[in-house]
């Protein structure tokens, strides 16, 4: 679980939240299937059903949480940080406390998850973080019923996904203004942008969330942007177009997929995965759901390349494997080598053919720009880390 410690307003129209990650080591089976369940929930948008999936409901392996105050005086809640959902809500564990800043709108609110969800009422209230920055008029879902977060110690979600993901979640409005929307409209940040910086868990288990821009001090190349894809259903998320190559040979032609902090692995279309499996010689491990390779095969791994816009983002051999010191957290063998590329569960051409999840994002800084409908990437000091 990740606990955030906000650094407060920087005086440059940006607010930074530092967090540290914790790997969950109990109750996790078949991490690949856990990630696929999250993406299946995303795809239900095709059926007209809002089915936004938070990290905890489908990805029990990692959690990124911030300590967020709600109300005046504030009650502190532990909320998941999720780019794959956009509503902010509380009440899964700690009950909501009404204060002088609380205003019930009269609207009901409900969000359904693949293996969880909540329903309740909408309030407008103040959200605050340590060191002084706050949002004065934020829509908050207050759960009177919830499932999927029981006994997790997590009280709800801090949604930083696109506003479109709030469509149909409240009874009195088509959409809900997100945390990023309101930070921008209230003048706390100068642009509706979020930068996400992960340090590989095998290095330090920490990272940083920057509202209002990105942290130039942690990147080693310029940020390169691409527009949000027009392809449905990826277009409703932080979706982009990219192609993927292994050893200079294309395994996935240019297609649409999403960038998602709440997915642990890199998921690719079934046909691309089969090509990757054949090229690497990986054997599917039934316990973890991951491909396993020998030391000799690891020594012969070639770069896995993501071509996004006009830029190429390579994953080295080391970046393609799960941290070996953390194999036990997957229920795996301590001396095994597991690949972090897995099957998304559908063939290419479905409109959501890949997910660039945490194991990609720990190697590249990512920027989510609501103002300009684009996503950006940059290298960091950890892009070529060999710590796995």
Residue 363: name the closest of 225, 236, 202 by CA. Answer: 202
Q: How far is CA 117 from CA 40, 101, 148, 211, 333, in A?
A: 15, 26, 6, 26, 34
Give dist(CA 231, CA 80) in Å, integer.
28
82 catalytic residue (yes or no): yes
What is the three-class DSSP state of 232? coil
Q: What is the chain's alpha carbon radius of gyration, rounded to the nearest angstrom?
A: 20
> For this structure, is 247 an active site residue?
no
Q: What whole-number distance in Å separates Cα of residue 260 and Cα of residue 62? A: 13
Which residues 6+ apart lie within 8 Å of 313 measured at CB? 305, 306, 307, 360, 363, 364, 377
Q: What are phi and psi of 93, to 5 degrees?
A: -120, -70
Rounded-to-integer distance, Cα 202 and Cα 199, Å? 8
Catalytic residue among 260, 285, 356, 369: 260
**DSSP string computed for 309-357:** TTEEEEE-TGGGB--GGGGGGGT--TT-EEBSEEE-SS-SSSS--EEE-
Calculate the alpha carbon distances from 373 to 137, 159, 376 in Å.
24, 17, 10
Q: Tell me how crowded residue 349 is: count the other CB atoms within 10 A of its CB.
A: 12
Which of 82, 285, 343, 356 is catalytic? The answer is 82
Catalytic (active-site) positions: 82, 260
């Amino acid at each position: 679980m990740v606990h955030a410690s906000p650094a407060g307003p920087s005086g440059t129209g940006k607010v930074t939240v530092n967090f540290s990650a914790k790997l969950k080591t109990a109750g996790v089976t078949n991490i690949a299937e856990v990630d696929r369940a999250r993406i299946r929930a995303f795809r239900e948008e095709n059926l007209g059903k809002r089915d936004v999936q938070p990290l905890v409901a489908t990805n029990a392996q990692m959690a990124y949480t911030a300590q967020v105050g709600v109300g005046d005086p504030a009650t502190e809640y532990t909320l998941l940080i999720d780019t794959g959902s956009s509503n902010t809500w509380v009440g899964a564990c700690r009950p909501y406390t009404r204060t002088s800043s609380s205003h019930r709108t009269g609207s009901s609110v409900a969000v359904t998850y693949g293996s969880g969800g909540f329903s309740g009422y909408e309030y407008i209230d103040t959200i605050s973080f340590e060191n002084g920055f706050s949002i004065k008029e934020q829509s908050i879902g207050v759960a009177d019923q919830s499932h999927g977060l029981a006994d997790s110690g997590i009280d709800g979600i801090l949604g930083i996904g696109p506003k479109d993901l709030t469509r149909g979640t409240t009874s009195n409005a088509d959409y809900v203004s997100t945390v990023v929307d309101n930070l921008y409209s209230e003048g706390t940040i100068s642009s509706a942008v979020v930068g996400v910086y992960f340090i590989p868990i095998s290095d330090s288990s920490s990272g940083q969330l920057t509202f209002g821009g990105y942290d130039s001090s942690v990147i080693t190349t310029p940020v390169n942007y691409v527009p949000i894809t027009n392809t449905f259903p990826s277009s409703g998320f932080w979706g982009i177009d990219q192609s993927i190559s292994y050893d200079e040979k294309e395994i996935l032609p240019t297609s649409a997929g999403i960038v998602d902090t709440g997915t642990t692995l890199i998921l690719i279309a079934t046909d691309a995965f089969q090509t990757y499996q054949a090229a690497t010689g990986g054997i599917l491990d039934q316990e973890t759901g991951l491909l396993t390779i020998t030391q000799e095969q690891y020594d012969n791994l070639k770069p896995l390349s993501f071509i996004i816009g006009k830029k190429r983002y390579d994953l080295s051999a080391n970046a393609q494997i799960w941290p070996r010191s953390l194999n036990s957290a997957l229920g795996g063998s301590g001396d095994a080598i597991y690949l972090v590329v897995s099957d998304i569960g559908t063939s290419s051409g479905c409109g959501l053919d890949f997910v660039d999840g945490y194991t990609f994002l720990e190697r590249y800084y990512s920027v989510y720009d609501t103002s300009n409908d684009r996503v950006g990437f940059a290298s960091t000091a950890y892009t070529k880390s060999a710590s796995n």
